[in-house]
């Protein structure tokens, strides 16, 4: 069972990855060196935190991530206790030409929470949180997990924009964009970042905001972990307590009808409504779509909006009701096991008949479990100008991620071939993709993902990380 299946159970693009790696990954693999025992000993002695090596039980836990197919073995894992530990780790990785992966929650689809032969920097020592007295904003340690933030903010009657998996780290989530149930009303997670404190590639500490180092502030709001290691975020809070929310499950032997219903529904959704759907198919079972709705506003108005889908003849279950927002966020279990998956992702402005036909045909003919994550972007998300922040998807439409699950040792090829066949047929916009759900892809795909913002990101990367130390990510190469 994969992460998306877990998301609902509480209430109801490239060649195959083994055939291609990005430029930055190939370069890192070629340049990995083994530090001398003496230099390693000096480094370890200078840390306040802890180093875990192969053989330590904690090492086995920290080297793994959600994407089970990326079974990397780093040279060691550093549990940083303070900013100085992070600075020392950055310096050691740079001087010894070691890959450096930053781990918060370990949920990277592309396996970037770990690395082969390098250093994994574990950020769990930075799980701190302070809510301002006026409840307008909060400061989150760079290692905080979404679930813990949701609990603390709910106790104050407020919320920030986060996703729906308690064990996802706020670092990767916010830096990559951040979709979630409140985004249509309050913007993406990255739109709610007011400032951030980072350790840069040269070891400097730097704060960025609209008034301090604004180019860096622009870049980290969607540009991923390419520019530094965030030790603390300042995020906006909103007065959210109860919402009209839940899941409407549609089941039918004809997935086309379900996709048509979803497409018609999102076209009329107001700003107060965020819609996230999962279409799934498994041999021997009816295809279904689980539509998660979250309406932030007058519940009576929300019920009128939802009537279009809640009265559909193929509704199998409907859990939408007025509930505490925290309850919606806690529908996903806190512990999610690793999963073997192949992915393809992208963006399109309309779920038209051609795309419906392609998706329905592919899902109906899959010989293994497949699902698709459809996220409707509109409202506050699409009102932000494309050039205002690095995150590029500022037009109304659907960002998607389709995954095919497989079992080792021999299931990967069939899943990869199914994914590649879908990618070859499904039309997507030339510019735009959600980097937080992308698999490992080449530079051209990352360039397309950022569209018109890529050139500026390259220039900022050249200023703050000219040697591309922070390359274990959806990497933006320095100009």
pLDDT at 334 over 90: no
- Which of 12-16, 201-205, 364-368 has the least mean pLDDT? 12-16
pLDDT at 188 over 90: yes
Report the pLDDT averaged over residues 360-366: 95
pTM above 0.85, yes or no: yes
Report the pLDDT averaged over residues 312-335: 93
- Please tell me the predicted confidence (pLDDT) of residue 164: 85
Tokens of 414: 């069939």
Residue ranges per domain, the chain? Answer: 37-125, 126-239+454-464, 242-444
- Please tell me the predicted confidence (pLDDT) of residue 189: 98
Average pLDDT in the chain: 92
Instruction: Name the DSSP class of 436.
Output: G
pLDDT at 459 over 80: yes
Task: State the Cα–Cα distance between residues 415 and 435, nearest whole angstrom.
Answer: 21
- Please tell me the predicted confidence (pLDDT) of residue 336: 85
pLDDT band with cut points at 50, 70 and 90 for residue 61: confident
Q: CB neighbours of 253 closer than 8 A, spacing ≥ 6? A: 286, 287
Reported as a single tens digit per residue, the pLDDT across 254-293 is 999 999 999 999 999 999 999 999 999 999 899 999 999 9
More confident residue, 102 or 30: 102
pLDDT at 33 over 80: no
- Please tell me the predicted confidence (pLDDT) of residue 32: 61
Fold topology of 126-239+454-464 = 3.30.465
Report the pLDDT averaged over residues 330-352: 92
C-alpha distances (whole Å) from 215 to each of 22, 148, 208, 211, 424 are 26, 30, 8, 10, 37
Task: State the Cα–Cα distance between residues 93 and 202, nearest whole angstrom.
Answer: 11
pLDDT at 163 over 80: yes
Report the pLDDT averaged over residues 109-135: 97
Cβ atoms of 72 and 63 closer than 8 Å: yes
Q: In this structure, what are the phi and psi dihedrals at residue 99, rounded to the nearest 5 degrees?
A: -60, 145
Cβ atoms of 365 and 289 closer than 8 Å: no
Report domain 37-125's class: alpha beta
Q: What is the DSSP string of 120-157?
A: EEE-GGG--EEE-TTSSEEEEETT-BHHHHHHHHHTTT
pLDDT band with cut points at 50, 70 and 90 for residue 369: very high
pLDDT at 2 over 70: no
pLDDT band with cut points at 50, 70 and 90 for residue 8: very low
Task: State the Cα–Cα distance between residues 249 and 266, nearest whole angstrom.
Answer: 15
Report the pLDDT averaged over residues 445-449: 96
In percent, the amount of the chain with pLDDT more than 70 equals: 93
pLDDT band with cut points at 50, 70 and 90 for residue 9: very low
C-alpha distances (whole Å) from 217 to each of 141, 191, 230 are 17, 11, 11
Reported as a single tens digit per residue, the pLDDT across 426-436 is 999 999 999 99
- Three-class DSSP category at 302: helix
- Please tell me the predicted confidence (pLDDT) of residue 26: 37
Cβ atoms of 196 and 220 closer than 8 Å: yes
pLDDT at 75 over 70: yes
- Please tell me the predicted confidence (pLDDT) of residue 464: 98
Query: For domain 242-444, is the CATH number 3.40.462.20?
Result: yes
pLDDT at 439 over 90: yes
pLDDT at 237 over 60: yes
Find residue 246's DSSP bridge partners: 293
């Amino acid at each position: 069972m994969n992460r998306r299946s877990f998301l609902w159970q509480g209430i109801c693009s490239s060649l195959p990855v083994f055939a291609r790696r990005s430029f930055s990954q190939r370069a890192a693999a070629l340049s990995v060196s083994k530090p001398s025992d003496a230099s390693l000993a000096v480094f370890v002695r200078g840390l306040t935190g802890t180093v875990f090596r192969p053989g330590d039980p904690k090492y086995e836990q920290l080297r793994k991530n959600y994407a089970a197919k990326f079974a990397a073995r780093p040279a060691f894992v550093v549990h940083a206790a303070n900013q100085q530990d992070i600075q020392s780790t950055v310096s050691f990785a740079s001087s010894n030409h070691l890959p450096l992966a930053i781990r918060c929650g370990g949920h990277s689809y592309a396996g970037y929470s770990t690395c082969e032969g390098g250093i994994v920097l574990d950020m769990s020592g930075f799980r701190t949180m302070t809510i301002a007295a006026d409840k307008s904003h909060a400061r989150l340690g760079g290692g905080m997990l979404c679930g813990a933030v949701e609990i603390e903010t709910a106790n104050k009657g407020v919320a920030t924009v986060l996703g729906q998996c308690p064990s996802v780290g706020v670092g990767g989530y916010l830096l990559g964009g951040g979709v979630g149930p409140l985004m249509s009303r309050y913007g993406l997670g990255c739109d709610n970042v007011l400032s951030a404190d980072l350790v840069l590639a040269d070891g400097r500490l730097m704060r960025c905001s609209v008034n301090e180092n604004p180019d860096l502030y622009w870049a980290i709001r969607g540009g991923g972990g390419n520019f530094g290691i965030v030790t603390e975020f300042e995020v906006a809070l909103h007065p959210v307590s109860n919402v009209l929310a839940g899941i409407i499950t549609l089941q039918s032997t004809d997935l086309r009808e379900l996709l048509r219903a979803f497409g018609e529904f999102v076209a009329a959704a107001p700003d107060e409504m965020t819609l996230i759907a999962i279409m799934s198919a498994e041999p021997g079972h009816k295809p279904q779509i689980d539509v998660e709705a979250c309406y932030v506003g007058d519940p009576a108005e929300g019920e009128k909006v939802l009537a279009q889908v809640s009265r559909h003849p193929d509704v199998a279950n409907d859990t939408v009701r007025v509930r505490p927002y925290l309850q919606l966020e806690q529908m996903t279990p806190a512990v999610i096991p690793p999963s073997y998956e192949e992915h393809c992702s992208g963006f399109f402005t309309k779920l038209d008949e051609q795309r419906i036909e392609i998706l329905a045909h592919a899902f109906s003919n899959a010989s293994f479990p497949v699902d698709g994550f459809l996220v409707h972007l509109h409202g506050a998300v699409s009102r932000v100008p494309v050039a205002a922040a690095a995150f590029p998807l500022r037009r109304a439409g659907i960002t998607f991620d389709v995954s095919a699950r497989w079992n080792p040792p021999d299931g990967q090829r069939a899943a990869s071939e199914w994914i590649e066949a879908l990618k070859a047929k499904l039309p997507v916009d030339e510019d735009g993709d959600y980097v937080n759900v992308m698999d490992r892809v080449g530079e051209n795909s990352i360039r397309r993902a950022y569209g018109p913002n890529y050139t500026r990101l390259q220039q900022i990367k050249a200023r703050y990380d000219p040697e591309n130390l922070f390359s274990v990510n959806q990497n933006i190469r320095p100009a």
